[in-house]
Structure 1
């Protein structure tokens, strides 16, 4: 069952607006945090404190010449950058930002999230193939292998959460964490989900997809102007989305720690404001974690990335799922 109302459309519109703008905010935050970590100044020329730097970057990309390889596939070369952006936008539909604050509640919302997230690999792979470049093709193939590899442990980590809830609704997953966050009940699943989230976002130390030193620029070597800008936008949108999913599945969603034990009854307005504030603060923390890791941990080798996914995370995620299922079946059933 899908619940759609005027309020749902408003929430969806606001969520999409915030997600599109969050990319620019995250870019600025990354530059500031990177500057702090590396003991340098950071953006400080365009606008006060460099706050208008993201706008200047967008204008620069718009004014650049749009080049398409002569022997490439022009249609796929144009469509490919849109796919990861669209998939990122689609995920917002089922994420609850507070009690009753969501665009729609789908009974199989978790399956919807996993299905939509898996489509992002097509944009990267098609971009590498449509460019008719060996560098781009290698980048696209490495992207497909990496993203598919880490979808498996990520899916098993989510499945270990579903066992606790007994529902595939993302709203139910969020509501079930009022007293106990799942990171306390399922810490191994949380660690696996976070690592897989980094790999799915193609962020350091899993940025082999666009390893500049090895593949010139990876799958987007032959992209320029706003086509490149859309890949850039999609990367940061996926950072925000993955941060939201980490919060939703393991870190209490919009709930404060053990809120059911101590938080008094609030009016619907105050409760809504508190829920959105808590959810936003948690998401901001994980965005900071993405940035912090990028400027702290060096890039893995490709064989290390594959070995971690298949030899370590996948068996661990399956074992974790079996143990949790057995505990719940024998002791709480």
Structure 2
């Protein structure tokens, strides 16, 4: 494989750069509108209903109509809100969502208007780190939206979303380190080209999809896919938008076009993380096996077609999960991120690093290395299965359940039972409620007599 020459970037004529930016911008907007329609239509099929079917053929113009409706709706700003920060937050989210797409290679080297160029806006030796840096800025948009709204519900939604995004940013970053170790680069275009290398096991050699990192680095791929849902606040991790708890999370006080910008950035982020997963784990714009052996289909101009086929597999996964898996609790979300994904990502990264060094230095050919590895693995598995303190179950005596003990009615938990209405009111500290019940009982007694 010939390494990709990054010197191709940054030397296009200004007019060609402008043309590529316009094509890129229009494509993202059209893809976002299509993604909204695709989700609503697919959910309709999964839930045995029609979905949007009135505006345009098959309801294709419905998403565009919804966007125009939000554009002309009244944009209300809370009276006590910080107006500048309140308006700035959705723009931060949108700019970050658009900016990350400039690092995605949709195709290889082509000849456009007589100039040799890449079907990618920009690439650097540390492009993936730049992607992680840009996505981390989105946290500011979330927390500023919740804080500037001067609303308790929006603030709680912003804090919950920020905590979950930070925890999953760490797991996501660690899952990508093994990709860097295998590819030997952090450039997005070079990572795609690195997946075109033939996969070798001794004398055997496979050319094509077998070298893609979703097969070689399965734990990293699974961790990244889980992090995708948390990064985009999608079900089952859509706690910032838990309608029964927080209204609409950090977006509760937004309306009109500012709300539309949050809505736009969410669907752009869905497509963006799908494109990143395609680039880093699914071979990017490389053809799917066995089509890579057909010269006509292994064409740089067909790279965007192969890329979109793979990216929309992840988009369908987003929709499928939303239709099938319920939302989890907040404590389950944080426990999954901090207690499982981050330690597993760290341990897997260390194993990949040892494996790569072992291949380079010839450790894997020695019997002592494999004996040591087996012993260490057996000890770790034993500690995982049988280690840790043993908790003895202590039977607790059932206590009387008072749903009004805290001043507000709460539902029973576990084996708790709600007592009768008279018992509840008599045990509550609310004197007006007792008086109402007593008056109701007297009137009922007089009616019976």
Does residue 217 in structure 1 map to residue 248 in structure 2? yes
Partner of 2:184: 166
Does residue 36 in structure 1 map to residue 45 in structure 2? yes
Partner of 2:377: none
Q: How many angstroms apart in 1 are the aligned matches of 2:59 and 2:309?
A: 23
Residue 9 of structure 1: CA displacement?
A: 4.0
> Does the 8 A contact of 2:174 with 2:345 survive in 1?
yes
Q: 2:76 aligns with which of 67, 83, 102?
A: 67
> Does the 8 A contact of 1:72 with 1:130 survive in 2?
yes
Partner of 1:239: 270
Q: How many angstroms apart in 2 are the aligned matches of 1:163 and 1:205?
A: 31
> Does the 8 A contact of 2:288 with 2:306 survive in 1?
no
Does residue 53 in structure 1 map to residue 53 in structure 2? no
SS of alignment partner, residue 125 of structure 2: coil
Partner of 2:217: 186
Does residue 304 in structure 1 map to residue 332 in structure 2? yes
The one of the two structures with greater contact order (alpha-carbon pairs below 8 A, sep at least 6) is 1
Residues 41-50 or 130-139, more deviating: 41-50
Residue 265 of structure 1: CA displacement?
A: 4.6
Partner of 2:302: 274
Q: How many angstroms apart in 2 are the aligned matches of 1:183 and 1:117?
A: 22
Does residue 332 in structure 1 map to residue 360 in structure 2? yes
Query: Given the two structures, how large is their TM-score scaled by the length of structure 2?
Result: 0.71
Query: Given the two structures, how large is their TM-score scaled by the length of structure 1?
Result: 0.95
Q: 1:263 aligns with which of 267, 280, 293?
A: 293
Does residue 135 in structure 1 map to residue 163 in structure 2? no
1:102-181 equivalence runs, <5 A: 102-178=120-196, 179=208, 180-181=211-212
Q: How many angstroms apart in 2 are the aligned matches of 1:331 and 1:258?
A: 27
Residue 48 of structure 1: CA displacement?
A: 2.0
Q: How many angstroms apart in 2 are the aligned matches of 1:234 and 1:79?
A: 14
> Does the 8 A contact of 1:12 with 1:92 survive in 2?
no
Partner of 2:92: 83
> Does the 8 A contact of 1:83 with 1:120 survive in 2?
yes
Does residue 251 in structure 1 map to residue 274 in structure 2? no
Partner of 1:197: 228
> Does the 8 A contact of 1:46 with 1:53 survive in 2?
yes
Does residue 25 in structure 1 map to residue 43 in structure 2? no
Residue 273 of structure 1: CA displacement?
A: 2.5
> Does the 8 A contact of 2:286 with 2:292 survive in 1?
no
Q: How many angstroms apart in 1 are the aligned matches of 2:33 and 2:296?
A: 34
Partner of 1:316: 344
Q: How many angstroms apart in 2 are the aligned matches of 1:332 and 1:181?
A: 20
Residue 154 of structure 1: CA displacement?
A: 0.3
> Does the 8 A contact of 2:107 with 2:304 survive in 1?
yes
- Of Structure 1 and Structure 2, which has the larger fraction of its residues in helix? 1
Structure 2 unaligned regions, length at least 5? 1-5, 110-118, 197-207, 362-449
SS of alignment partner, residue 327 of structure 2: coil
Q: How many angstroms apart in 2 are the aligned matches of 1:13 and 1:288?
A: 27
Q: How many angstroms apart in 2 are the aligned matches of 1:202 and 1:10?
A: 33
Q: How many angstroms apart in 1 are the aligned matches of 2:179 and 2:72?
A: 47
Structure of greater Rg: 2
Structure 1 unaligned regions, length at least 5? none
Residue 229 of structure 1: CA displacement?
A: 0.5
> Does the 8 A contact of 1:205 with 1:298 survive in 2?
yes
Task: Give aligned pairs, total.
Answer: 330
Residue 94 of structure 1: CA displacement?
A: 1.4
> Does the 8 A contact of 1:81 with 1:231 survive in 2?
yes
Residue 264 of structure 1: CA displacement?
A: 4.9
Q: How many angstroms apart in 1 are the aligned matches of 2:145 and 2:277?
A: 28
Partner of 1:95: 104
